[in-house]
Amino acid sequence: MKILFIRFSSIGDLVLATPVFRCTKRQLPDSEIHLVTKKKFADVTASNPFIDKFHYYEEDLESLIGQLKQESFDAVIDLHNNFRSNKIKHALEKKSYTINKLNFQKFILTKLKVDVMPGRHITTRCLDTVKPLGVKDDGGGLDFFIPQQQRLNENDIPHSHLAGYIAIVIGANHFTKKLPVHKLKELCSKIDFPVILVGGPSEKDAGLEIASIDDIKIYNACGKFNLYESADIVRRARMVISHDTGLQYIACAFNKPLIAIWGGTSPLLDVEPYYPKNLSHLQPPVFENVFLNLWCQPCSKYGLPRCPLGHFKCMEKQNTTYIARRAIEMVHQFPMTV
C-alpha cells in the first residue's frame, strides 16, 4: 500500500506529526510511506526511518502534482488541510483522509475568548486520520532523528557545561511567543546552574546580550549551529525551558524535562507538550506549562508581531523567580534522561 502524507510546515508541526509516520509504518509493514513537505523544512524529517520517500514543495505546485501523479498512491493523508493540500488531493483523485484543524473553535477561543476546544491534542487528531486504515496510537510519543555525523562533540560545548546544563530556547517565529530580552536576562540571572541559549541566527544578538550578564555560566549557542546540532544541545540538556516553538517539541521527542512558557499562544489550543504514555506515571510530571491565563490569552493561533493591546502582560508578568526555581527542581527530580 502506497500512502502519501502531506504536511508542508513547520518544524513543530512536523515533529508533532511523527507518531503518524511511525505507527503507520510499523502497523502496516508492507506500506510505502511518502511525505510532501516544504524544502526548507527537509531536515526535520529527512532522517526519519519511517518515511520511505520525500517530495518537496518549492513554490511550483503544478510541477509537484505532476510528480505525485506518477506514483499511483493508494491513499492520501492530509495533515495540513489548506488550499495547496486540497488541490493535491483533488488532482490525485485517491481516497483521502484529512485532519480536523478546528479552525472555527480556535477562532471562537482567540477572538471571543470562549473555550470550545475539545481537549484533543493535535497529535491525536493527526492519528485520527489513519484510523480508517486500521492504525492505532502506540503511545510512543514524538520522534526526532539526528544523523550521527551531525551530533556535537565535546569541543562544541564549553568544558564548564559538560557536566550538565539547562537549555533555554530563546527564539520563536513571532514576537508574542517570546519573553523579552530583559525578562530572559532576569531569568538567567536567577538560575544557579550552567545555561546554554539555543536559537537561530536571528537570535544571535539577543543571545549575546543575555550572556553578557555572566559569560561563564551562560553560553550563547544562538546562530552557531544548524537544526540538528541545536537539537543535540537539547538532547544533551538536563532540562529545557522553551517558548512555543519547534525545539519545544524536539525536547519532548527526547523525553526531556521541560518548562513551556506561553504568551500570545496557549496550551488551550491543544498544542501542549506531548510525551509517551509510559511517562504519565511520573510524579511530578515531566513538563509544566507556565501560562498566566489572562483574559486576553490566547490572542492568536500562531503568534503576532506585536501585542494587540499594547501591554504584553502575558510575558512581561511572567514570574522568573518561579521558573528558575522549578528549573532547578527538575534538574534534581530528573537527574537522568527519563
Q: What is the share, in percent, of the chain residues with pLDDT greater than 70?
A: 99
If you average pLDDT over residues 121-133, what whole number do you get? 98
Kind of pairing, strands 218-220 and 32-38? unpaired
Q: Which residues, at least 6 apart from 18, have a Cβ–Cβ distance to it below 8 Å?
A: 45, 48, 50, 142, 143, 144, 253
What's the pLDDT at 281? 76
- Across all residues in the chain, what is the average pLDDT? 96
Confidence of residue 282 (pLDDT cuts 50, 70, 90): confident
Query: Residue 336 above 80 pLDDT?
Result: no
For the segment(s) 2-133, the CATH number from 1.10.1370.30, 3.40.50.2000, 3.30.70.20, 3.40.50.720 is 3.40.50.2000
What's the pLDDT at 316? 98
User: 229-248 burial string, b = 16+ CB within 10 Å, else e?
Assistant: bbbbbbbbbbbbbbbbbbbb
For 202-222, what is each residue's pLDDT tens digit?
999 999 999 999 999 999 999
Which residues, in sequence order, are bridge partners of residue 95?
Answer: 75
**Strand, helix or coil at 55?**
strand
Q: Domain extents for the chain?
A: 2-133, 150-333
Confidence of residue 44 (pLDDT cuts 50, 70, 90): very high
CB 218 within 8 Å of CB 197: yes
- Conformation bin of residue 137: beta by default, left when phi > 0, alpha when psi is -120 to 50: beta
Determine the Cα–Cα distance for residues 228 and 11; give it in Å rounded to an integer.
Answer: 12
Determine the Cα–Cα distance for residues 30 and 138; give it in Å rounded to an integer.
Answer: 18
Query: Residue 280 above 80 pLDDT?
Result: no
- In this structure, what C-alpha cell is assigned to residue 139? 503511545
Determine the Cα–Cα distance for residues 250 and 44; give it in Å rounded to an integer.
Answer: 10
Cα 77 versus chain centre, distance? 20
Confidence of residue 195 (pLDDT cuts 50, 70, 90): very high
What's the pLDDT at 337? 67
If you average pLDDT over residues 74-89, what whole number do you get? 98
CATH of domain 150-333: 3.40.50.2000
For 128-180, what is each residue's pLDDT tens digit?
999 999 999 999 999 999 999 999 998 999 999 999 999 999 999 999 999 99
